[in-house]
Structure 1
Amino acid sequence: MKGFIEDTNYSIGLLDDTATPRDVIDNYIYEHTLMGKNAFFVADLGKIVKKHFKWKNIMGRVNPFYTVRCNSSPAVLEILAALSMGFACANKNEMSLVYDLGIPMENAVYTNPCKQASQIKHAAKIGVNLMTCDSETELKKIARNHFNAKLLLHIATEGISGEEDMNMTFGTTLKNCRHLLECAKELSVEVVGVKFHVSSSNNPQTYIHALSDARCVFDMAEELGFKMNILDIGGISENEAQLEELYQAVSPLLDVYFPEGSGTRIIAEPGSFYVSSAFTLAVNVMAKNVIEHDQHLPSAGKQISNKPAFIYCMNEGVYGSFARKLSEKLNTAPEVHKKYKDDEPLFASSLLGPSYDELDVIVEHCLLPELEVGDWVVFENMGCGSLNEQSPFADFEKPSLYNFMSFSDWYEIQDTGNTSESLMKSLCVPCFHLGEDQFCTV
């Protein structure tokens, strides 16, 4: 199990009943301490399987098309393919990854709103016909380069404030939809459905408005002779409670606007929901500085004036596995790997990446026991938008990735009947047993 993320040859360790995911992390921290202390990911692929069954229980008839850019590691894509997932691809590389899985290309959609002509041609070559479009320029580009394209008209969504501020980054207005449909008719381009995307707030009211608009576009298209059969409701929250709230809000409208007997296929584009919780990142303390506490940021208004504060430099940062930190809040908290007593004092601490750049701050302020150089810090929920990043610093290797799952999760995958040959071969690895320092042959 020494493969790196970019390897197509990966392996999956099977966990027996005596071991836990924490044992796997402990094992590899021990190994990496001996080898040189580079950072690494551990992926519990069984969590992805469990997330899929939760999706099916919560989202009913809404079919998931996984957002490949969220996490494109080979094992993840193979597992999702075995679960009969669709795939939402943003570029040529992602389309090729899905194509190489051997899945039917009707289960892939090319979602980039600004497509290069060469990538449209690549989609045509490998049979990715379903793609989104939100402007006349894109429509004409697709018509020139993909004769079998089937379009989802991407419409903008309106905020619930009632003001005229539209989410116009991507998507056309409802007013412009008839013009685009008429252009598609003239260019002999098939339009088969509608897509919209609600921002990260996932407010149910915004979905309700978007579904109403989508129904209007379906009616327009059918008047012009198009056969519409797909509705894509876009990206979805990773929070299960929000997901349930969302479906409870939109399900009645789906039944009214797009009832099951209508032949409309409802799809969505989840990403982090499936993979975020499955991945854990372990990083190592490279350097340590002590500063006076009054120079440090307060902790939620609580000063600990009689204690020093610490700045730790880690061997991964925002120019690598923590890249999401540059654009959004980090959805995880540092956990010290070494055991410490409950009454051990906590100190104001900051965790920095290896570049010493002013932006390379992993955690600006937290309370931790005092750490030493060589200690490990573990971050959970690191499966989204982190594995594909390569540090620009030549001295830092890309973190290793170790995949595992329990026997019971593997049996659930097998029950689908869709396990590929490469997925089966990946299991030709030892099985982890509790209390041993390494994998052993079974």
Structure 2
Amino acid sequence: MASGVPEIHYYEHELSIRRVIEESGLQDLDQALNICDLSSVEQKHRLWQRLLPRIRPYYAVKCNDDPVVVQLLADLGTGFDCASKNELKLVLGCNVSPERIIFANPCRPVSHLEYAKEHQVANGTVDNEFEIYKLHKHYSNSNLIVRFKSEAKEAQCPLGDKFGCDADVDATALMLLAKSLNLKVTGTSFHVGSGCSELEAYDRAIKKAKNLFKFGELLGYDMDLLDIGGGFPGSDDGKFEKISEIVNTSVERYFPDERVKIIAEPGRFFVAAAYTLICKIHAKREVRNEAGKLDTVMYYLNDGVYGSFNCILYDHQVVTAEHYLDEANSLPQFKSLIWGPSCDALDKISEDLLLPNLNRGDLIGFPNMGAYTVPIASPFNGFELPKTLYFRAI
């Protein structure tokens, strides 16, 4: 990575957020802060290699484009799923070869295609005839990967309304069109949806991919790449293990020939659990019922849904909170409503958490905040974005 590499703090055994707060003087910080555990990313990489040994991960940069995380994953040998010219620049700047990148946005601006061509990023997805004609004109020697629709019945963020063609009708028509234009179709891809909860969706999609590979053979294509997309959980390793079992069984059934390279596009899997967001209470309000009894405590934090908590609006995330009071277990709990700092009434973080009666100046931590937070946050209303402290096990 280029100049300006941030400091990495080292710890033994296990990262203690409470100790970080005490030793780093975070009580005096007005700005929210991300605590990033790089060793968590490394642990996820080892878990992936153990449970999905044949599937090579291509990290979805859009999930979290922190250059420190991207460089770490580059050093670990992952591939990368990029969606734009700037994401390509970031990854290529980490000394990643173009063969380790898939340009996985099916609808790309011409200038972005030209940048990919200039830097020999040949693999890219396509899902409609207009993009095929665009590729024919601007990047005719690229490798077309036909993206078809095969969504899970349950997912945090379904993608099928925007991307993917019909696997039974449109995909074959696109392959025929590509053939007539002398373009190369080298594989297929799908995405069951970000945060997939219907585990069987992977088997259903991999079976469809096999049928398209057979059709490609009839057309004379030497198809050798299957991209099974994303959807892998970032904070539930038990669920990931179940998905892995289904994927491994399906791959063995439908793609036993190991000459076919199989990749995936995990994003939240690598980074969700690596980040804890530390926020300060800068104001509070107590709401009492008609009898004068405390009913709800409102807290106003220094980060909100226009900042890091945009994941609530855009990623449908349900956040959990941690407090750092020594006597926490002995204190009564109250219904707590948590607001962000802006003047917008939509800036509500949570309304159903149970917390002790905290004070202005106390800190609240939010775990699993590494996915679809950092790259989407904005300084709306003039509030600063969180900085990041990096930690790594010795």
* TM-score where L is the length of structure 2: 0.91
Counterpart of 1:212?
A: 207
Counterpart of 1:259?
A: 256
* Change in CA separation of 1:128 and 1:245 when aligned onto 2, cut-off 3 Å: same
Counterpart of 2:309?
A: 322
* Change in CA separation of 1:377 and 1:20 when aligned onto 2, cut-off 3 Å: closer
- Please give the secondary structure, in 2, of the residue aligned with 1:234: coil
Aligned equivalents of 1:18, 1:330: Cα separation in 2: 26
Aligned equivalents of 2:3, 2:372: Cα separation in 1: 18
* Change in CA separation of 1:344 and 1:112 when aligned onto 2, cut-off 3 Å: same
- Please give the secondary structure, in 2, of the residue aligned with 1:235: coil
Counterpart of 2:184?
A: 190
The answer to whether the Cα contact below 8 Å between 1:283 and 1:376 also exists between their aligned partners in 2 is: yes
Give % identity: 32
* Change in CA separation of 1:293 and 1:89 when aligned onto 2, cut-off 3 Å: farther
Instruction: In structure 2, list runs of 5 or more residues that go unmatched.
Output: none
The answer to whether the Cα contact below 8 Å between 2:287 and 2:294 also exists between their aligned partners in 1 is: no
User: Which aligned pairs between 1:391-402 and structure 2 lie closer than 5 A?
Assistant: 391-393=378-380, 395-402=382-389
Of residues 115, 128, 135, the one that matches 1:122 is: 115
Counterpart of 2:226?
A: 231
Aligned equivalents of 2:202, 2:367: Cα separation in 1: 30
Counterpart of 2:365?
A: 378
User: Which aligned pairs between 1:397-436 and structure 2 lie closer than 5 A?
Assistant: 397-407=384-394
Using the TM superposition, give the Cα deviation of residue 320 of structure 1 relative to its aligned residue in structure 2, in angstroms: 0.4
Q: Cα deviations across residues 146-178 of structure 1 (Å, max 9, x unaligned)?
A: 1331111001116679xxxx9453211121222
Counterpart of 1:339?
A: 326
Q: Cα deviations across residues 253-305 of structure 1 (Å, max 9, x unaligned)?
A: 312321144x10111111111111111110011111121247xxxxxxxxx98
The answer to whether the Cα contact below 8 Å between 1:160 and 1:205 also exists between their aligned partners in 2 is: no
Aligned equivalents of 1:66, 1:18: Cα separation in 2: 25
Q: Cα deviations across residues 86-119 of structure 1 (Å, max 9, x unaligned)?
A: 0001111111100100111111011112211111
* Change in CA separation of 1:198 and 1:305 when aligned onto 2, cut-off 3 Å: farther
Of residues 64, 68, 74, the one that matches 2:57 is: 64
Aligned equivalents of 1:160, 1:309: Cα separation in 2: 36
Aligned equivalents of 1:230, 1:151: Cα separation in 2: 10
Counterpart of 1:440?
A: none
The answer to whether the Cα contact below 8 Å between 1:44 and 1:279 also exists between their aligned partners in 2 is: yes
Is residue 365 from structure 1 mapped to residue 352 from structure 2 by the alignment?
yes
Is residue 142 from structure 1 mapped to residue 135 from structure 2 by the alignment?
yes
Counterpart of 1:414?
A: none
The answer to whether the Cα contact below 8 Å between 1:338 and 1:376 also exists between their aligned partners in 2 is: no
Is residue 247 from structure 1 mapped to residue 244 from structure 2 by the alignment?
yes
Using the TM superposition, give the Cα deviation of residue 19 of structure 1 relative to its aligned residue in structure 2, in angstroms: 7.2
Is residue 180 from structure 1 mapped to residue 174 from structure 2 by the alignment?
yes
Aligned equivalents of 2:169, 2:328: Cα separation in 1: 64
Q: Cα deviations across residues 11-35 of structure 1 (Å, max 9, x unaligned)?
A: 212224697454224333x2x433x
* Change in CA separation of 1:116 and 1:237 when aligned onto 2, cut-off 3 Å: same
Q: Which runs of 4+ in 1 moved over 6 A?
A: none
Of residues 7, 12, 17, the one that matches 1:11 is: 7
The answer to whether the Cα contact below 8 Å between 2:14 and 2:393 also exists between their aligned partners in 1 is: no
Of residues 66, 70, 73, the one that matches 1:73 is: 66
* Change in CA separation of 1:139 and 1:21 when aligned onto 2, cut-off 3 Å: same
Q: Tell me which structure has the larger Cα radius of gyration.
A: 1
* TM-score where L is the length of structure 1: 0.82
User: Which aligned pairs between 1:33-112 and structure 2 lie closer than 5 A?
Assistant: 33-34=27-28, 36-112=29-105
* Change in CA separation of 1:337 and 1:306 when aligned onto 2, cut-off 3 Å: same
Number of positions where the alignment pairs a residue of Structure 1 with one of Structure 2: 385
Using the TM superposition, give the Cα deviation of residue 207 of structure 1 relative to its aligned residue in structure 2, in angstroms: 2.0
For 1:180, the aligned partner's letter is L
* Change in CA separation of 1:371 and 1:97 when aligned onto 2, cut-off 3 Å: same
For 1:149, the aligned partner's letter is S
For 1:141, the aligned partner's letter is K
Counterpart of 1:221?
A: 216
Aligned equivalents of 1:343, 1:317: Cα separation in 2: 29
- Please give the secondary structure, in 2, of the residue aligned with 1:351: strand
For 1:41, the aligned partner's letter is N
Q: Which has the higher contact order (CA 8 A, sep 6+)?
A: 1
* Change in CA separation of 1:305 and 1:201 when aligned onto 2, cut-off 3 Å: farther
Aligned equivalents of 2:366, 2:328: Cα separation in 1: 20
Instruction: In structure 1, list runs of 5 or more residues that go unmatched.
Output: 1-5, 295-303, 408-442
Alignment RMSD, CA only? 2.3
The answer to whether the Cα contact below 8 Å between 2:57 and 2:79 also exists between their aligned partners in 1 is: yes
Aligned equivalents of 2:14, 2:45: Cα separation in 1: 25
Counterpart of 1:279?
A: 275
For 1:219, the aligned partner's letter is K
Aligned equivalents of 2:244, 2:337: Cα separation in 1: 39
Using the TM superposition, give the Cα deviation of residue 219 of structure 1 relative to its aligned residue in structure 2, in angstroms: 1.1
